[in-house]
Amino acid sequence: MSTNTLLDLVAALAAGRIRLVDLTQTLSPDFPPIVLPPEMGQSWPFRIEEASRYDERGPGWYWNNLSFGEHTGTHFDAPIHWISGRDLPNNATDTIPVEHMIAPAVVIDCSQEAAADADFLLTVDFVRSWETRHGPIPPRAWVLMRTDWSKRSDPVAYQNFDETGQHTPGPDAEVVQFLIRERDCIGFGSESIGTDAGQGFHLQPPYPCHYFMHGAGRYGLQCLCNLDLLPPTGAVLICPPLKIKQGSGSPLRVLALVPAP
Amino acid sequence: MGSHRSPYDDVALAVPVTVPYVRYSIRGAHWFFAQALAETVRRAGIDKDRVDGLCVSSFSLAPDTAVGLIQHLGLSPRWLDHIPMGGASGIVALRRAARAVQCGDAGIVACIAADTNHPDTFRQNTANFSQFARDAVYPYGAGGPNASFAMLTAHYLRTHAARAEDFGKICVAQRDNALRFPYALFKKKLTLDEYLTARPIAEPLRLFDCVMPCAGAESFLVMRRDIAADLGLPHARLAATIERHNAFPADPIQIRGGWSRDRDDLYAQAGVAPSDIDFLETYDDYPVITLMQIEELGFCGPGEGAEFIRSHDLTVEGSFPLNTSGGQLSVGQAGAAGGSLGLVEALRQLTGAALGAAVPKATTGLVSGFGMINYDRGLCSGAAILTAGAES
Amino acid sequence: MSVAPARPRRKNPILRTRLPTVPPAARSRVALGLTAAAALGRFELQVCLACGAVQYPPREACHICLSDRLEWRAQDGAGELLADSVVHHSQELFFRERGPWRLGLVKLACGPSVVAHLHGNCPAAPARVRVSSTLDKAGQAVLAAFAEQETPTMTDDRQLREMTCDPRARKILVTDGKTAVGRAVVEQLAAAGAEIIWVGHAEPWKKFPGFDALRAIKQATLMPLDVTDSQSVTELAGEIGGKVDIVVNTAEHHRNFGIEARSGLDVARAEMDVNYFGLLRLAQAFGPALRARGADGQASAVAWVNLLSIFALTNFPPHGTFSASKAAAYSLSQCLRAEMLPAGIRVINLFPGPIDDEWNQLILPPKLAPSALAAALVKAMREGVEDVYPGDIAQDWLARWRDNPKVLERELAAGA
């Protein structure tokens, strides 16, 4: 029975009845990393050092050595990443149940609001309004906040700093708690650097998405792209992070299975 | 009165040999030494073993010194010396060899100066000539000795009543002398106008103020007179010598080469005066040094050299025969052999064996040596007075 | 005669690029004492401590009394030009390509006679002149004589100009223009007549003060450059490397930690990645073209400038990991210098004391203003100096270090 379902899945993929959408940004040195105040430990940007390129260092082959932080590029946040989740069981990238790595996803379109206001905050009302059109958010689903922020190819615009800090959209404290308690979501995903808004430090508590999600053993996905290619409901995400010992997160490939229209 | 010096009564010079000069040679310096020695023993009518003393001078023998040359040529001398004094080497070699044969430390000494010349030889020699030259002269234009002597010449012209024409007269006269000398590399007559308008090398020196480096060798034998007589060799007698190095360190620029410090000893030892000298062979790497030698060796007073030149005929048959084979300026400078060119020519003149024109009735000749611009001045100087010996 | 050079004409791209040659570079060990002083912009000769005689050329023992107690001491260079000449025929390629070459013999008032290059304004002998020491294109000290009365610049003399790294009419890369020092350097290079200044900046999303002022400088062009990113460095070198005459590496990461004050390696790694590996990346990427253009006409490649720190000589424990990264950069810069010497490219190192910026906030004055540092840089470029210790603290530390580096180490450990 289950074997047939799997074969059906493969056949559907081959026939195009199920599409694969890549929600992952390319890892390159140009991709902006998260920036903390100078006194803090920093997350490394993605760097590539050639080991050889069909040359005297290795005539027949090309390969690189890489350096990056656990939270570089399109990446996964595990509960251990935040202080509120540090004591939970199975909270690191090597201990998270693998069953959680394939899950349904809903996409809440805030692109117009984010275009008008870089500090746009997703609220409970906005979600309820979305639910009137698309139905209730199912349990154990990813809630992805579509802002089209990934279309900002200029790193300056993507980071969007001014003298008061970073200005990117995100959820407010109430909607995060709502999604956890009332909708049992598996995690929150965003297109910008950080699941929390750029000004999230000033919310109560600071960085509420990280605080509450990880405190409840839920996950985060950041720097997603192509959310505009996903239906509001019905997509399934495949997002296994690297199995890093006690890892707080990792860059990863995020794939979405989408029924073809 | 000067210092007491033992006389050279019984010292003889014989067998003047020149290995013909060539501009460039693929041979090593050892070949030129061998040629000189072979011709020497052939003309002397002796086996090479009979030469039991050797004095060597060369800039291009490295990594060998006289020691390597010994085994190279199959010699077993009981007296060996290596004189690295450039243009003063011939005079100094003669001084060393003379005392050796007088004391019986050697019987027959061959004094040979030889150098090869490849296209890059001169540059390599001058680039690494001495520590002071490398540290404090060569980096300034890399002009070699031409640059240093240009400044000496400029200073001399500025501080004496001398003109370029005076220097030119020396070069023209020596060229005339050289036209009759078979080994001279320069074979064309030189006019004063050509001298004055030749291309500048290092101002104020022009092309004909400078010698042409080449390959070749000069050699002579030193022995006691009785041995020369036994061998039936025409010979000259050694009357006097002097030698002085770094003579005037306090002079801010070289205005004196060194001879004036010991000149009186030279004439006293020989028992002659400048007026008794029949011909003068100076070390002539540049005309200004010839002028210094004329002044310092007492032929005129200090600063009177230019006037002396103007008032004398310097050709072989003239009133003051100077560099009778043409000097280095017209014959060529075969490295260290330039320091023996004058001695070998003087020996020929005094034994009636001149290859070119002969100085009429020559009985007394003065040969001067000079060399080694270690930094800003030539350090080595020397002179010898030779007289005609008995004909064999 | 001396004439200020006109703006160089554009190069004909079809013509072969002349390869660099350098003047004779061989020197004995004692003579290198002259070079060591000239590297700091000083003219020093050996003086006998026993009898006071001044020595030249440099040597192992006094030429008057044979004492070996010879000490290098500053000289004022006053002297009389006794003779001069113009060399038309030189034995070395460098001078053959640039001849004819003027030189002279000067009797110094302090005693020795010296051979010297002559500045174009130096009259013919006899004349009163002043001799100074400078580094030539081979990176070795040479003496040069100037007319006594005037104070001409070396840059307006045909022969001596090549011994300097004058920024005028040159195309310059300043690797980080975002810092106060970087901005001051760009401003002063522009004022000194640079033709183009490419101004590197990383993390473009971080706006920095003075950004607009930089963009207002006519010669300045902002270019993305992150010295921690090999691809960024390689790309910029590919784009402009063939035109750069001077690289001024101002990129610096400076924090205030020793060993105990910060757990983990992240700060120290960032300091090494910018201060040491950044230099290595830049040198690998820009070095080859710089070397090839060492004799490329009037506007040739001439210099590589490193912003080091006086902390590179001896570790300043409160900024201990920063000091170590600067020491690593200093060592590497010596390697760079050796590799650049045959091409006649001068590596200039700046060793400022604490700069008056945020990372030295808690250090007591005197601190070096960025503008003063930039002025010292331009001066060093014009005068042919290669080791620059600008400001009072740098001079003080240098004197202590030269006197006894171990004593300085203890003084700094005690928080002196």
Nearest to C127 by CA among C79, C159, C75: C79
User: Which residue does chain B place closest to C140, by CA atoms?
Assistant: B139
Integer Cα distance of C327 and C335 in angstroms: 13
Nearest to A47 among C203, C205, C228 (CB): C228
| Percent of chain C scoring above 90 in pLDDT | 84
Q: What is the DSSP string of C197-259?
A: EEEEES-TTS--TTHHHHHHSTTEEEEE--TT-HHHHHHHHHHHGGG-SEEEE---------S
pLDDT band at residue C298 using 50, 70 and 90 as cut-offs: confident
In terms of Cβ atoms closer than 10 Å to its own Cβ (0-12, 13-18, 19+), residue A176 is: buried
**Inside any domain, residue A38:** no
Calculate the average pLDDT of chain C. Answer: 94
Integer Cα distance of A28 and A26 in angstroms: 6
Integer Cα distance of B78 and B81 in angstroms: 10
What CATH number does the domain containing A125 carry? 3.50.30.50
Tallying the residues shown for chain B, one arrives at 392
Q: What is the DSSP string of B71-86?
A: HHHT---SEEEE---G
Q: In the predicted model, what is the mean pLDDT of residues B56-78?
A: 97
Calculate the average pLDDT of chain B. Answer: 96
CB contact under 8 A, A45 and C229: yes
CB A236 within 8 A of CB A207: no
CB contact under 8 A, C226 and A156: no
Integer Cα distance of C139 and C141 in angstroms: 7
Q: Is C53 on the interface with B (CB under 8 A)?
A: no
* Sign of the alpha-carbon dihedral angle for C163, C167, C173, C179: positive
Neighboring chain B residues of C95 at a CB cutoff of 8 Å: 141-143
**Inside any domain, residue A99:** yes
Q: In the predicted model, what is the mean pLDDT of residues B23-30?
A: 97
Tens-digit pLDDT profile for residues C301-312: 999 999 999 999
Integer Cα distance of C299 and B218 in angstroms: 53
CB contact under 8 A, C85 and B154: yes
CB atoms within 10 A of CB B102: 18
> Quick one: tokens of B347?
């020996």
Q: Which domains, and CATH codes, for chain B?
A: 11-120+214-231 (3.40.47.10), 136-213+237-388 (3.40.47.10)
CB B167 within 8 A of CB B209: yes
The answer on pLDDT for B77 being more than 90 is yes
State in Å, rounded, how far the first CA of chain B is from the last one: 36
Neighboring chain B residues of C104 at a CB cutoff of 8 Å: 151
pLDDT band at residue C74 using 50, 70 and 90 as cut-offs: very high
Integer Cα distance of A255 and C114 in angstroms: 79
Q: Is C58 on the interface with B (CB under 8 A)?
A: yes
CB contact under 8 A, C91 and B127: yes
Phi, psi of B221 (to 5 degrees): -105, 145
Neighboring chain C residues of A158 at a CB cutoff of 8 Å: 205
Neighboring chain A residues of C205 at a CB cutoff of 8 Å: 32, 35, 155-156, 158-161
Is residue A117 helix, strand or coil?
Answer: coil
CB contact under 8 A, C203 and A35: yes
CB contact under 8 A, A48 and C204: no
Q: Please tell me the least confidently modeled range out of A72-76, C161-165, C262-266.
A: C161-165
Integer Cα distance of B212 and B202 in angstroms: 15
Neighboring chain C residues of B375 at a CB cutoff of 8 Å: 57
Q: Say which amino acid occupies B110.
A: A
Number of domains in chain A: 1
**Inside any domain, residue A39:** no
Tens-digit pLDDT profile for residues A88-129: 999 999 999 999 999 999 999 999 999 999 999 999 999 999
Neighboring chain C residues of A35 at a CB cutoff of 8 Å: 203, 205-206
Is residue B247 helix, strand or coil?
Answer: coil
The yes-or-no answer on residue A71 being catalytic is no
CB A157 within 8 A of CB A195: no
**Inside any domain, residue A52:** no
User: Which residue does chain C place closest to B207, by CA atoms?
Assistant: C89
Mutate to test the interface with C, among B121, B126, B140, B209 (most CBs of C within 10 A): B140
The answer on pLDDT for B334 being more than 60 is yes
The answer on pLDDT for C216 being more than 60 is yes
**Inside any domain, residue A48:** no
Please report which helix (H) or strand (E) contains residue C410, including its range.
helix C405-413
Secondary structure of A156-196 in HEC code, one letter for each residue: HHHHCEECCEECCCEECHHHHHHHHHCCCCCEEEECCCCCC
Nearest to B376 among C28, C115, C142 (CB): C115
- Where are chain C's structural domains? 32-163, 171-413
Integer Cα distance of A142 and B41 in angstroms: 110
Tallying the residues shown for chain A, one arrives at 261
pLDDT score at C32: 98
User: Which residue does chain C place closest to B154, by CA atoms?
Assistant: C83
Q: Say which amino acid occupies C245.
A: D
pLDDT score at C3: 53
The answer on pLDDT for B391 being more than 90 is no
pLDDT score at C154: 73
Neighboring chain C residues of B158 at a CB cutoff of 8 Å: 83, 125-126
> Quick one: tokens of B342?
């004058």
Exactly one of A71, A75, A81, A210 is catalytic; name it: A81
The answer on pLDDT for C212 being more than 90 is no
Integer Cα distance of A131 and A136 in angstroms: 5
pLDDT score at B392: 41
Q: In the predicted model, what is the mean pLDDT of residues B79-85?
A: 97
For residue C124, how many C-alpha atoms fall within 13 Å in the half-sphere facing its CB? Answer: 8
Helices B66-73 and B29-44: crossing angle in degrees, nearest 10, is 60
> Quick one: tokens of A90?
């199975």
pLDDT score at C150: 67
- Between the alpha carbon of residue C243 and those of residues B21, C190, C220, C221, the distances in Å are 53, 17, 15, 14
Nearest to B284 by CA among B375, B198, B208: B208
pLDDT score at B270: 96
How far, rounded to the nearest angstrom, does the alpha carbon of residue B82 sit from its chain's CA centroid?
16
Tens-digit pLDDT profile for residues C231-290: 999 999 999 999 999 999 999 999 999 999 999 999 999 999 999 999 999 999 999 999
CB atoms within 10 A of CB B57: 33
Nearest to A161 among C207, C232, C270 (CB): C207
CB atoms within 10 A of CB A116: 8
- Between the alpha carbon of residue B304 and those of residues A161, B307, B327, C372, the distances in Å are 89, 5, 22, 61
Cα of C153 to nearest chain B Cα, Å: 19
pLDDT band at residue B390 using 50, 70 and 90 as cut-offs: low
> Which value, in Å, is the radius of gyration of the alpha carbons in chain C?
22
pLDDT band at residue A247 using 50, 70 and 90 as cut-offs: very high
Find chains touching chain C: ≥3 CB pairs under 8 Å: A, B
**Those residues with Cβ within 8 angstroms of residue C353's Cβ, 6 or more apart along the chain or in another chain:** C310, C366, C367, C368, C390, C391, C392, C393, C394, C396, C397
**Inside any domain, residue A220:** yes
Q: Is B150 on the interface with C (CB under 8 A)?
A: yes
pLDDT score at C197: 98
**Strand spans (E) along C271-390:** 303-307, 346-350, 387-388
Nearest to B18 by CA among B359, B344, B349, B368: B344
Q: What is the DSSP string of A221-259?
A: EESB--GGGS-SS-EEEE-PPP--TT-SEEE---EEEEE
Nearest to B77 by CA among B45, B100, B57: B100
User: Which residue does chain B place closest to C109, by CA atoms?
Assistant: B252
pLDDT band at residue B118 using 50, 70 and 90 as cut-offs: very high
Q: Give C191's strand partners.
A: none
CB contact under 8 A, C266 and A41: yes
pLDDT band at residue C1 using 50, 70 and 90 as cut-offs: very low
Quickly tell me which residue has 């999604």 as its tokens.
Answer: A179
pLDDT score at C5: 59
ipTM, two decimals, is 0.93
Find chains touching chain A: ≥3 CB pairs under 8 Å: C
Nearest to B202 among C82, C88, C113 (CB): C88
The greatest distance separating any two alpha carbons of chain A, rounded to the nearest whole angstrom, comes to 64
Q: Say which amino acid occupies C20.
A: P
Integer Cα distance of A86 and A80 in angstroms: 4
The strand pair at C171-174 and C127-135 is best described as unpaired
**Inside any domain, residue A158:** yes
What is C171-413's CATH number? 3.40.50.720
CB B91 within 8 A of CB B384: yes
Integer Cα distance of A44 and A37 in angstroms: 14
CB atoms within 10 A of CB C71: 11
The answer on pLDDT for C152 being more than 80 is no
**Inside any domain, residue A108:** yes
CB contact under 8 A, B141 and C24: no
CB atoms within 10 A of CB B49: 11
Instruction: Write b or e for each residue in A133-170: b if 16 or more Cβ atoms lie within 10 A of its Cβ, otherwise e.
Output: eeeebeeebbbbbbbbbbebeebeebbbbeeeebbbbb
Mutate to test the interface with A, among C208, C222, C227, C231 (most CBs of A within 10 A): C231
Neighboring chain C residues of B127 at a CB cutoff of 8 Å: 24, 26, 91-92
User: Which residue does chain B place closest to C80, by CA atoms?
Assistant: B252
Integer Cα distance of A168 and A120 in angstroms: 7
Inter-chain CB pairs, A–C, below 8 Å: 36
Integer Cα distance of C287 and C279 in angstroms: 11
**Those residues with Cβ within 8 angstroms of residue C94's Cβ, 6 or more apart along the chain or in another chain:** B142, C21, C22, C23, C137
Please give the residue range of the domain that contains residue A252.
19-29+70-259
Nearest to A95 by CA among A83, A81, A82, A78: A78
Integer Cα distance of A250 and A240 in angstroms: 9
Tell which B residues from 352 to 391 touch C, by Cβ distance under 8 Å.
Answer: 375-376
Integer Cα distance of B116 and B110 in angstroms: 19
